Chain A
Amino acid sequence: MASPKQIIKNSAVVNDDWSVLRLQEGDTAETVIVPIGKTLVPLKVWLAQKTVLMHRADIGVWFASDERVEDLQDDVAKFSVIAVDFPKFGDGRGYTIAYRLRNRAGYRGELRAIGDVLRDQLFYMQRAGFDAFAVRADKDIHEALKSLKDFSITYQASTDEAQPLFRRVQRGA
């Protein structure tokens, strides 16, 4: 499966050479062959083939929306890219996965949103902890980039802002 050629990363459109491995009919996590080259593998595949894959530097992992950050345990620090899949843009579990990866598991590498990633979700995704976005291929990625600036102020704390507004500024003006 080819991944989009361009992604948004650190608020810019950049070329990307990672591909996303998705299990096809008949594949199992234990037996699927992980191609050579930079590959984001499903969490299940990582867990099943860890002893082999851990020697490769070009492996990242992606979470399905019903998977748990705890399942990756201490492996988090091994990766330079972790992705979270949005099967439908209305499935909001990925936001909490991102929050947990950043705030509980202490992950500092690239955190990428993949799947049904649309412009109007990017602002929240960025706040929850994503810094890379594989915008759905049929959408204009340069247009999507604009949405990261939809709001200049936010009320609550999240991954991007440890402090809620009432501690960040003098309110009441």
Chain B
Amino acid sequence: MYRYDQFDHQITAERVAQFRDQVRRRLLGELAEDEFRILRLQNGLYMQIHAYMMRIAVPYGMVSSDQMRMFAHIARKYDRGYGHFTTRQNIQFNWLKLQDAPDILADLATVEMHANQTSGNCIRNITSDEFAGVARDEIIDPRPYAEILRQWSTFHPEFGFLPRKFKFSITGATTDRAAIAVNDVGLQAVRNEQGEVGFRVLVGGGLGRTPFIGTEIASFIPWQHILTYSESIVRVFNEYGRRDNLYKARIKILVNAIGIDEFRRQVEEDWKFTKDGPCTVTQAELDRVAACFTAPAYEKLADVALPSDNKAFSNWVARNVKPHKVAGYASVVLSLKNAGIAPGDATEAQMDAVADLADKYSFGELRITHVQNLVLADVKQADLFALWEAAKASGLATPNIGLLTDIICCPGGDYCTLANARSITLAKAIDERFDDLDYLHDIGEIDLNISGCINACGHHHVGHIGILGVDKSGEEWYQITIGGNKGSPANIGKVIGRSFSFAQIPEVISRLLQVYVAKRDEGERFIDTLRRVGPDPFKEFVYATPVPEEAKLQMPDYELMAQGTPYDTPLYSPRF
């Protein structure tokens, strides 16, 4: 993991002091809310329906066990005992008070964390591959570069007030697990013929109202130039990105409007002034940062045969345990997708428990995945059974990674002021309908994504099945897309037809799956069959006969609260 030096500590401490003073001025009324808003957002603080929400940066998804314990502490001390891991590998706390925000930042600083630029129109927390450093298909470990980019983008004086938020994602592997094609800038490590490391650069990807897959702006930028090149991209965006319309302000709109060739020309025109200048990354700096990401002290082990007499354990291994590049080790995904709990939520007790598991089994480190689960990257295969039992005891061993119930879902109408429809509650309804593990394993890998509105926080466009909440005369409806894919290759899904009510959705999903089961060839995943046969059979079957509503879901008290979840979730936001 990256460790702060005295300079990182000092910058972080000065940031806390700055924000403490801004909050003080806000509470005194010296700062109006519209002036304060932009400042609090740059510190990850949102104002939600019920309370302030803080999004804490987890750079490229890496956390130490001490940092995880700090999350548990924040959940206990300032929140209602839980937190929410997000699709950008961060964590959010939903029930905070403004007065506490500076103390929370100060507490975070003690474990080398912050909430800088997790919101607002600036360069956001940089995301990466959750299996960075351990994946078998890795060309280089992207984390040193991600950290160098993090420092460059932190409080960049020119880029604090961009037309819109700006997201970087970086991968060092051949399989894209970091969704680089749907970020404003996507960086993919490659080696040229001489074996030198550089980056293929994509620009202008994004979801939301007008989804775009990123376009290649450069096929090889040597690693030394990654800061200057990135800076030129953001500079051109800062000057020319639209500021008249919130929904047309992302870089994807600019790139699409002027074309990639013109955009590239402008970037290169600017870059020629800085290329090879002082911001060229030095070998010494790369070495310093890379030294933080060296492999842990692996023991020399052989791969072991796992016990096969326990079906539940075998199921879990099949779904939640991933291969590791070092013999005798494996990576384990702890599922935060459990029936009745909002996808990505973890209680303070669970956070403490996973921190302990990380200390005991995985060199004290964890990763947060962009599908809102947790990863213990370096577990001895011989420890898997004991780890499984411990994870089970904490409710973190649901064997559903990659399966239908590993749903990606935004907060939706239960929390979010912008929502057209509920997401978390719908995820729960789907979870209940498809609770038969054997069926889920038979259906196999499928990405189901839910967004409560077109802002697409749940990445519905890139779900194999995507569900989008839409508003029809003030009522909640859902539109279904199929055929999306988040990477290798990234694809935007297509709408299948008219939308459905909340209570119809589980049946709609069931029909889509029935077509898959009827049409699939041996070994095909849902998305493979869909690509082979096309969307028509799916559409036809879904709409062939009226879709019944599930009776239970129509009951007005169908909500999380009734199920005794650890916290109270209002059924509807005040907007409804």
Contact = CB atoms under 8 A, between A and B. Distances in A.
Contacts of A169: 7
Contacts of B35: 89, 118, 120
B6 A173 contact: yes
Contacts of B157: 95, 123-128, 154, 156, 158
B160 A91 contact: no
B152 A155 contact: yes
Interface string A57-84: 0000000000010000000000000000
A89 B151 contact: no
B434 interface: no
A171 B92 CA distance: 31
A173 B5 contact: yes
A161 B163 CA distance: 25
B161 A89 contact: yes
A156 B228 CA distance: 11
B164 to A, nearest CB: 11
Contact of B11 (A91, A99, A153, A172): A153
Interface centre among B5, B11, B158, B227 (most CB of A within 10 A): B158
B152 A151 contact: no
B7 A92 contact: no
A142 B159 CA distance: 26
Contact of B5 (A103, A125, A128, A172): A172
Contacts of B159: 92, 95
Nearest to A99: B158
A165 B7 contact: yes
Interface string A5-22: 000000000000000000
A143 B567 CA distance: 43
B156 interface: yes
A92 B10 CA distance: 26
Contacts of A118: 35
Given A92-B160, A151-B11, A171 B5 contact: yes
Nearest to B285: A166
B517 interface: no
B121 A90 contact: yes
How big is chain B's contact interface, by range? 35 or more
Nearest to B3: A172
Contacts of B11: 151, 153-155
A100 to B, nearest CB: 9
B256 interface: no
B273 interface: yes
Given A93-B238, A172-B5, A164 B279 contact: yes
Nearest to B286: A166
Interface SS of chain B: helix, strand, loop or mixed? helix
Contact of A95 (B7, B160, B243, B278): B160
A76 to B, nearest CB: 16
A56 interface: no
B282 interface: yes
Nearest to B39: A120
Contact of A104 (B156, B273, B281): B273
Given A164-B279, A166-B285, A92 B18 contact: no
Contacts of B121: 90, 92
Contact of B10 (A152, A162, A164): A152
B14 interface: yes
A151 B278 contact: no
Contact of A154 (B155, B243, B281): B155
Contacts of A126: 157
A157 B10 CA distance: 17
A31 B295 CA distance: 70
A55 interface: no
A126 B6 CA distance: 24
Contact of B278 (A92, A125, A163): A163
A96 interface: yes
A95 B161 contact: yes
Nearest to B281: A166
Given A89-B38, A96-B238, A171 B152 contact: no
A151 B10 CA distance: 9
Contacts of A91: 161, 243
Interface string B240-269: 000100000000000000000000000000
Nearest to A116: B35
Contacts of A121: 160-161
Interface centre among B157, B162, B243, B273 (most CB of A within 10 A): B157
A127 to B, nearest CB: 4
Interface in B128-168: 151-163
Interface centre among A95, A104, A162, A163 (most CB of B within 10 A): A95
A39 B243 CA distance: 29
Interface string B275-291: 00011011011001000
A150 interface: yes
Contacts of B273: 103-104
Contacts of A156: 151-154, 156-157, 227, 279
Please list the 8 inter-chain residue pairs (A to B) with the smallest Cβ-Cβ separation, ordered nearest first: A92-B161, A127-B157, A124-B157, A166-B285, A155-B151, A95-B158, A150-B18, A151-B14
Given A164-B279, A171-B288, 6 more contacts: A90-B161, A91-B243, A92-B159, A151-B14, A165-B7, A167-B282
10 contacts: A68-B239, A90-B161, A91-B243, A92-B160, A92-B238, A147-B18, A150-B14, A150-B18, A151-B14, A164-B279
